[in-house]
C-alpha cells in the first residue's frame, strides 16, 4: 500500500502531479464508509473500468468525490501552509482554481487548472470572473 499507490492516485486526480508528496495518504486508502466500488477505484485509480468493472460514469463519479475531498483538504484553514511547499507558479494555479470554483468564474475551472499546470499561467480568457450585473 502506501507511497506508490498514493502517488499514482494523486498523479491521476490532481492531473499531473500538482503536489510533491503524499501528506494525506489516508485519502487513498479505503475506510468502512467506502462502497466496494469506491474502495476498488481508490486502489486502482488508473484502471477503474478494467479493474473494478465500473462504467466510465461510475468511475468518474467516484474519482470526482475523491478529488473534491482532496481539494477540500487543501481549502482548510491551513491551506497557505500546505501550499507553501509548492513552487510559486503551482501555488498560483491552485489559488486561481480555488477562486474559480468558489467565486463561480465562467469556464471549466478544472480544465483551466490543467492548462495552468502546463503553461505555468492561468488562462483568463478561458476562465475568469463573470459580471454579476
Residues that bind other proteins (CB under 8 A): 92, 95-96, 99, 102-103, 107-108, 111-112, 114-115, 119, 121-129, 131-133
DSSP 2: T
What is the smallest separation between the CB atom of 107 and other proteins, expressed in angstroms?
7
3-class SS of residue 78: coil
Within 10 Å of residue 52's Cβ, how many Cβ atoms? 21
What is the smallest separation between the CB atom of 52 and other proteins, expressed in angstroms?
29
Question: Among residues 82 and 107, whose Cβ is nearest to other proteins?
Answer: 107
Letter string b/e over residues 75-108, b meaning 16 or more CB atoms within 10 A of that residue's CB: eeeebeebbeebeeebbbbbebbbebeeeebebe
What is the smallest separation between the CB atom of 43 and other proteins, expressed in angstroms?
31
Question: Among residues 32 and 130, whose Cβ is nearest to other proteins?
Answer: 130
Question: Among residues 32 and 81, whose Cβ is nearest to other proteins?
Answer: 81
Residue that is written with C-alpha cell 454579476 in the block:
132
Under 8 Å between Cβ of 52 and 44: yes
What is the smallest separation between the CB atom of 54 and other proteins, expressed in angstroms?
26
Question: Among residues 13 and 113, whose Cβ is nearest to other proteins?
Answer: 113
Amino acid at each position: 500500500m502506501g507511497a506508490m499507490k498514493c502517488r499514482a492516485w494523486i498523479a491521476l486526480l490532481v492531473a499531473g502531479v500538482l503536489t510533491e508528496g503524499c501528506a494525506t495518504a489516508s485519502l487513498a486508502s479505503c475506510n468502512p464508509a467506502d462502497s466496494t466500488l469506491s474502495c476498488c477505484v481508490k486502489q486502482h485509480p488508473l484502471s477503474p473500468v478494467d479493474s473494478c468493472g465500473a462504467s466510465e460514469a461510475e468511475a468518474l463519479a467516484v474519482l470526482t468525490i475523491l478529488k473534491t475531498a482532496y481539494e477540500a483538504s487543501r481549502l482548510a484553514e491551513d491551506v497557505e501552509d500546505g501550499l507553501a511547499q509548492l513552487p510559486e507558479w503551482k501555488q498560483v494555479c491552485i489559488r486561481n482554481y480555488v477562486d474559480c470554483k468558489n467565486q463561480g468564474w465562467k469556464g471549466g475551472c478544472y480544465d483551466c487548472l490543467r492548462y495552468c499546470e502546463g503553461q505555468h499561467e492561468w488562462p483568463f480568457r478561458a476562465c475568469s470572473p463573470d459580471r454579476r450585473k
